[in-house]
Amino acid sequence: MKNEARCIFPTICRISSDCAEKSIFKSYLVQSTPNLLRQVAESRIRCLSPFDSAAILNKILEKADQKGIAAIRRDPFYRPVASKIVASVQLYRRELLFYFLTKFYKLHDIHAIKGLTRVFVQSEAANIQSVPQLVELLYYAAHHIPKELHSDVVRTDDQEDIEPTPKDILDEHLQIYCECVEQLQCELVEKSPQLRDKTLVYKIVTAIAKLPRTQHTDVLVGAILEKVKLEIGTGAWDLPHLVKVVKALGELSVDDDMLQRVICALEVNQDNLRPSDIEEILQLLERLNSQLVADYAFKYQNSTSALYLSLSDKLHLSKRLGGECPAFVIHEKAANGMKWKRK
């Protein structure tokens, strides 16, 4: 489904860092004019250049960092300016869509995201994105899931006969959103061998657990989990990132090798876990252990139980101390669990 709209500024395929210098609104941008949005909104210019749009959005984001996104979007001239930018971007080369989509994702502007996602899907822009760009777009998509999908799409592993992507949803935006996710996943499956950076692996594994399923999800998850095993095995992530990865794995199907790696990583870091994290991890261990024991003889069950007992003791003691989670070391390993002493 190609986008048939005519392309304006066909020679511009990337945004340079000096876009403000190349903008027709240069004087307002350089001098940080307070009424920049009003000047742009009331301008007779109907189609902004890519440099105009980029420079204006950068200035908006700069002010959002100072005043907050909500304050910027309450400006009566924000919506007219955003609409003018979106209308212009829809006519740019598809190479520029990633740049502007991510800007509006940072502004949490759902109206703009909807408009640009439609063009992204129609122009099949996914097939020209690099691996970092594909991961970034899926990561943003996972944090901007349409609220209707939370009730319409249910992730289940035992209902294989259900159509993965909800094609029967009437709302056009939901269909476009799901089609965008599918295109991005399809492209990332082909390029997954290039997925090596630990930050990208973290982003995609935490994103894929939230996104609606597509026909490419299972293949992509398989490729991602192999990357996750390597990163967990090398201790690539700090504790906050590790905990988020482990929680994401709870939404995916993992094998005993993955669970053993998770157990080893958590055992090393268990003294620094927060009570809230411990509670979630205990539930996760119960679920994963039950799943694997049901599938076959689970050779790591004793290791899982030891960690489970260890974390249970920590959580119990933390609650007795009023929520404080002090550091402990193993004092003695007994048949009925762990005994602890303060460091």
Determine the average pLDDT of the residues in 114-133: 97
Determine the average pLDDT of the residues in 58-66: 94
Asked if 138 and 217 count as a contact pair (C-beta separation under 8 A), the reply is no
pLDDT at 5: 61
Cα separation values, 289 from 102, 160, 253, 258, Å: 39, 22, 11, 12
Top-confidence residue, 255 or 95: 95
Q: Please state, in angstroms and rounded to a whole number, the distance separating the CA atoms of residues 39 and 255.
A: 58
Determine the average pLDDT of the residues in 96-108: 98
Whole-model pTM: value is: 0.81
Asked if 187 and 129 count as a contact pair (C-beta separation under 8 A), the reply is yes
Determine the average pLDDT of the residues in 51-75: 95
pLDDT at 273: 86
Cβ neighbours for 267, distance < 8 A, ≥ 6 positions apart? 307, 310
Lowest mean pLDDT among 52-56, 263-267, 269-273, 287-291: 287-291
Classified as helix, coil or strand, 156 is coil
CB atoms within 10 A of CB 247: 16
Top-confidence residue, 65 or 276: 65
Top-confidence residue, 285 or 220: 220
pLDDT(41) > 50: yes
Handedness of CA 47, 95, 63, 78 (dihedral sign): positive
Top-confidence residue, 343 or 37: 37
At 235, which helix (H) or strand (E)? none
Report which DSSP code applies to 162.
S
Q: What is the DSSP string of 40-72?
A: HHH-S--S--HHHHHHHHHHHHHHHHHH-HHHH
Start-to-end CA span in the chain (Å) = 63
Confidence of residue 189 (pLDDT cuts 50, 70, 90): very high
Determine the average pLDDT of the residues in 181-198: 96
pLDDT(301) > 80: no
Determine the average pLDDT of the residues in 263-281: 85
What value does the CA radius of gyration of the chain take, rounded to a whole number of Å? 24
Lowest mean pLDDT among 157-171, 276-290, 292-306: 157-171
Mean pLDDT of the chain, nearest integer: 83
